[in-house]
Copies of this chain bind each other. A is one copy, B any other.
Amino acid sequence: MSDDDLFHALESAPAGSSLAIARVLDQLRYDTRGLVPAIAQDAASGAVLMLAWMNRTAIERTLAEGYACYWSRSRNAYWRKGETSGHLQRLVELRLDCDGDAVLLRVEQTGRACHTNRPSCFYLLADGSVVRVTSDPA
């Protein structure tokens, strides 16, 4: 199996099959900036908390340190979530998707995930002809 079809080969692999993580991270389908979208989900409640971005090093740091580390596209810098706010995300598990272009972090969230001090960043609900705010900022 060449690395080109690594994700294709995994499609038919039974549960329990495994591959060296370095090889899989080599083959993720990073965008032109070297990033993949990363979803943070509350491991206990299942709530989707936020979507951010990771490069390979951010994934490796997250796994090594056990806390979510993203890449901030606005600041062009690593962003250890909660470093200034204290709203850390302890990593419960990190998953990759079938075609290697997205990351799912299941986390234990300290405090509130959103910079607006709401529990989730997804507080804007499409409701007919409007978008409605569904939670108060803290």
Q: Residue A16 contacts which of B11, B50, B51, B132 (CB distance < 8 angstroms)?
A: B132
Q: Residue A46 contacts which of B47, B95, B136 (CB distance < 8 angstroms)?
A: B47
A93 within 8 A of B: yes
Q: What class of interface size applies to chain A in its complex with B?
A: 35 or more
Which residues of A (89-138) have their CB < 8 Å from a CB of B?
93-99, 101-102, 104, 114-116, 118, 121-137
A77 proximity list for chain B (CB < 8 A) = none
Smallest beta-carbon distance A97→chain B, Å: 4
Once A116-B11, A133-B17, A136-B14 are accepted as A-B contacts, the answer to whether A124 and B24 lie under 8 Å apart by CB is yes
Smallest beta-carbon distance A86→chain B, Å: 18
4 nearest A-B pairs in the assembled complex, by CB-CB distance: A46-B46, A51-B102, A18-B130, A95-B122
Beyond the given A10-B124, A97-B121, please list 16 additional residue pairs across the A-B interface where CB-CB is below 8 A: A11-B116, A11-B137, A13-B137, A14-B136, A14-B137, A15-B134, A16-B133, A18-B130, A21-B126, A37-B51, A41-B46, A46-B46, A96-B131, A97-B122, A98-B114, A98-B115
